[in-house]
Amino acid sequence: MTEQQTSIPLGILDMSPVLEQVSVEEALERSVQLAIMAEQHGYERFWLSEHHDIAALACTAPEVLIAHIGVRTSSIRLGSGAVLLPHYSPMKVAETFRMLSALYPGRIDLGIGRAPGGSAHAAIALSGNYLAHVAEMPQLVSDLRSLLQDQYQVEGGAVRARPQTAFPPQLWLLGTNRKSAGLAAAQGAGYVFGHFMSSSDGQAAIQHYREQFQPVADGEQARVILAVKIIAADTEARATGLYEKWKMSPAGLAAVGEEMPEPIIGTPATLRQQFTDLLEQYQADELMLICPLDQYEERMYVYETAIATIKGF
């Protein structure tokens, strides 16, 4: 973060968790309400993840939920975090997100990833030989980029992903290593490093991305989002209490067992420096927050506190 930068762009990555034994309908509405709050409080992006055949996560089609949330909001950028590209045709993905861009001009982000998003059986049900499709990921991303740039051809014939829009979707690639960083750089896409899943080699991956970045269109610049887990509260005691509660939850125990990074914890006073240090350490332009707590009201409270932390930087 430069000395001139007085604020940090913040986003939310929501996985539409099914918590507190609510119905999936209620879980999805909770995602909608979180997006509305995010817009009202000054978050710049609200992204939705894609998962399959996981009972605890309700969003299997982020593009559908994006369309619904677009009606309930007016300005916040909406995106996928991420569309799992190995499962799909780049043409269909490009058409879907151009359609969203036509409905919500200047507000749509197309985040893509290569994870299966569920069990091996779910991956087979979605797209057959998932591993073979993963091996094709560089070509899939290249094809998607060509479609978004209106440069795609099939057997010598031009193919356009329509509708043609004045504000095309902004392309991002999510990953946790140098390979994904290099792919994002080669395609002139933004890069999101998933610090919440793995903090190893994050600095090296982002540095590699910035060094190798090749703009596809005029004016494109390297841009980096760092996605982090966070627990924020008004007091240190409450922040610590929420953290200790999370550690004993199934999600917290699983995270410890898998040696995943722990949340960033603090109050508006202490988080300011932590966020600044993260941006400088990782050469990131934005932060995207993921709250790991398993109570809806606590999650909303954390996100409201976190945005208050940044205002006035």
Tokens (6 digits) for 111: 């985040």
Residue 195 lies in a domain: yes
Cβ(224)–Cβ(284) below 8 Å: yes
Residue 210 lies in a domain: yes
Q: How far apart are CA 104 and CA 127, in angstroms?
A: 29
Direct distance between the N- and C-terminal alpha carbons of the chain, in angstroms, rounded to an integer = 11
Residue 257 belongs to a domain with what CATH number?
Answer: 3.20.20.30
How crowded is residue 102: how many other Cβ atoms within 10 Å of its Cβ? 16
pLDDT for the residue 313: 39
Residue 231 lies in a domain: yes
Say how many domains are in the chain. Answer: 1
Residue 5 lies in a domain: no
Phi, psi (deg, nearest 5) at residue 226: -105, 120
Cβ(255)–Cβ(246) below 8 Å: no
Residue 2 lies in a domain: no
pLDDT for the residue 7: 77
Low-confidence stretches of the chain (pLDDT < 70) are 1-6, 311-313
Cβ(161)–Cβ(95) below 8 Å: yes
Q: How far apart are CA 199 and CA 228, in angstroms?
A: 9
pLDDT for the residue 119: 97
Which residues pair with residue 163 across a beta bridge?
Answer: none
How many residues are there in the chain?
313
Residue 4 lies in a domain: no
The model's pTM:
0.95
pLDDT for the residue 173: 98
Residue 226 lies in a domain: yes
By residue range, what is the domain housing residue 21? Answer: 10-310
Residue 244 lies in a domain: yes
Cβ(296)–Cβ(19) below 8 Å: yes
pLDDT for the residue 311: 65
pLDDT for the residue 6: 53
